[in-house]
Chains A and B, each alone.
Chain A
């Protein structure tokens, strides 16, 4: 069966773009969630949309499951291969097909790197807003599939909020066009449904994104607090004051130490928590907001406030923040990251609870998170070489996820359910919600070929390593787990 399937693929792909040798497949065994590893049957590397469609049709004809993959930066195991299935690697489908500065949009293929869209738009004073920390390497196809976020979601939303249209290949090879170039629409938002469906509805072949004018000015400050709770309360005060910052981020003591050691952003080392707030927009508006922000921050009881005086200082503040996770990662041989969300007014409560759980399990937890969105990123540290350590870290992670659900939040803010959290989805949604989602999945993909085994609880877990380690790109400082 698989021999016939591979023979069929060989008629469509030359040997250098159809990988079957174990050594060649090894590079695709896992994504940024290195805890899971699975060798696929084969990897195909299409260079045209037609080849993607041909690969999907072949899978459908032979009943072989497939996983689409870009740079493999998924933190939830979303692009983990399927046993006896193939990986459709989209990195070489990476053309910017159209850039229309007048209409502020770009039409791109799924393998285009997130940051390359902004690079192409920059000469026209435009940018692509979604900015996941992995933006120098992650691809737009993955961003769409997982509705990726980033530090600047507070004001302008996630990836889907910036996608106008999609050309997709459905799991049986049929092609559909969703949405249009217009910002508005007169039909159900199928683009919105496809976004964040984690590869279960098919593969995006062409993605039309809106571009925004680059903000005229940024004003960034850093406030240091004696307690994590005080920083959390400051976030609530900023939001309650009617300000709408572009970003609000918190780092705890452990992350501050690690970031300072790694990239020397000049953070105060004795702080229990740091709050970064950034305003962006038009000069006159930002200046007026800046006055108000400073008043709110000073009233929130920080013991130190630093203001970025120029672009270089601003970049330094963000460098520390964006490298925090890989930096904390160096403190521990292994770690797991969660990305649960709590209502913003309950941030302080959530942080206190996590502290208690950390003490209860005797496991160090560092916190670096998108505070403005209530999106936590507890980083649970352990040593996988110690017997039972991974299991205990996972127990703690599970309790944090339950905490997020109990506080009225979500099990994932931006990483997706993927492989990692598929067991938790039924804790957040009722049996009838799950049944409806399953029915939708089956109506779109009756044979469950597209990213089989993800999102929904299932029985065949992939091989799980005990020593997690970090992703090669992470060690190189290119990506971070946030």
Chain B
């Protein structure tokens, strides 16, 4: 385990352009003239007191390693990190804001990352946030780093607050004639006082039928009763058996549902904006996740999707199998972002 950060700081200082990476489960091929900095050697848990429900680790630590450790103490990362099974690291997960379907319940990476150490474009090592769950001191660098794609700094250390892991899960599958039917049912679910862990809609590209998947987690004792009420709310649906439901959500996180050569594109949106997007996506595999707040689209034609997103003023991110700049679709001018970049990366070393 490498722990001396001076080499990294030096590398940033002496290079014109720098790109940090971990296990490369998400990164696009690094362009010529850009110095690649492999963070995978900066790996391992730095501090973890199970009773504190907070964990600090090097940014290059595999997510799966942290999940295993937490699980031994009945804890988990509630934002449901993606691609852990493929070796994704903590740093990449934060930089790409790679949150899964269960992010619906308690929030995303932004809601659980409470401390960071990073190297900025000047080569300075900066600490933001801390190791306590409540902290109002100093600017909120941890949140800024979420989704920053390595453009504002190189994460070296991350601290998360964690939660008790649900003891058991159960999932209801509701088959519906169309996406419209699923969207019509959605507000009933998102507004009910039942605690739902995930709500995803899958559209079958063969026949355009939609299936709602609703996951509930918690103490085993209350689960059957809770799920019966969700089923009553939906008016239909079948319970998945335990192995199937685990496999289903695992596949969602690991992107094993992609066909060879396809990229997975994340598009944040709201349920109200789904129909206008979906008409352009016939024939493509797609999932509307996080209660209709994220579209995951599988495509082998990124430029076509880029044009569609631009026409709808939607932003997209190629999370799996990115070719060049992973940012596609529409981007709003942001003078605040420009000023932030001027401070953290004045020479544009981290630009994509």
Contacts and interface: CB of A to CB of B under 8 A. Distances in A.
Contact of A440 (B108, B142, B146, B344): B344
Interface in B192-229: 192-195, 218-219, 221-223, 225-226
Interface residues of B, number: 88
Nearest to A176: B336
Contacts of B272: 102-103
A185 B147 contact: yes
A249 to B, nearest CB: 13
Interface residues of A, number: 95
Interface string B322-343: 0000010001101111011011
Contact of A243 (B164, B221, B293): B164
A199 B134 CA distance: 20
B43 interface: no
Given A282-B195, A284-B225, A375-B134, A436 B126 contact: yes
Contact of B222 (A146, A181, A285, A415): A285
Contacts of B337: 176, 187-188, 190
Q: Which of B136, B192, B294 has the most CB of A within 10 A?
A: B136
A160 B111 CA distance: 9
Interface in B61-120: 74, 97, 99, 103-104, 106-108, 110-111, 120
B115 to A, nearest CB: 10
B83 to A, nearest CB: 16
Contacts of B49: 343, 345
B288 to A, nearest CB: 12
B340 A440 contact: yes
Contacts of B134: 149, 153, 158, 341, 370, 373-375, 410, 413-414
A126 B101 CA distance: 22
Contact of B293 (A170, A184, A186): A184
Interface in A298-333: none
A133 interface: no
Given A125-B193, A182-B293, A433-B127, A103 B271 contact: yes
A11 interface: no
B120 A374 contact: no
A284 B219 CA distance: 9
Contacts of A285: 195, 218-219, 222, 226
A144 to B, nearest CB: 12
Contacts of B271: 102-103
A147 to B, nearest CB: 6
B324 to A, nearest CB: 16
A244 B152 contact: no
B222 A288 contact: yes
A239 B51 contact: yes
Contact of A147 (B140, B193, B317, B340): B140
A284 B335 contact: no
Interface stretch (A87-95, A356-364, A423-431): A423-431
A104 B193 CA distance: 12
B137 A186 contact: no
B151 interface: yes
Interface stretch (A16-24, A58-66, A211-219, A251-259): A211-219
A304 B146 CA distance: 45
B178 interface: no
B195 A183 contact: no
Contact of A186 (B138, B142, B315, B339): B315
A288 B290 contact: no
A203 to B, nearest CB: 12
Interface in B135-151: 135-149, 151
Given A153-B134, A170-B339, A289-B219, A440 B195 contact: no
A284 B194 CA distance: 10
Given A180-B268, A190-B340, A410-B137, A126 B97 contact: no
B218 A183 contact: no
Contacts of B287: none
A189 interface: yes
Contacts of A213: 191-193
Contacts of A176: 334-337
B343 A192 contact: no
Nearest to B125: A432
Contacts of A288: 218-219, 221-222
A341 B140 contact: no
A425 B138 contact: yes
A242 interface: yes
B99 to A, nearest CB: 7
A-B pairs, 5 with minimum CB distance: A192-B143, A284-B222, A443-B343, A242-B164, A186-B317
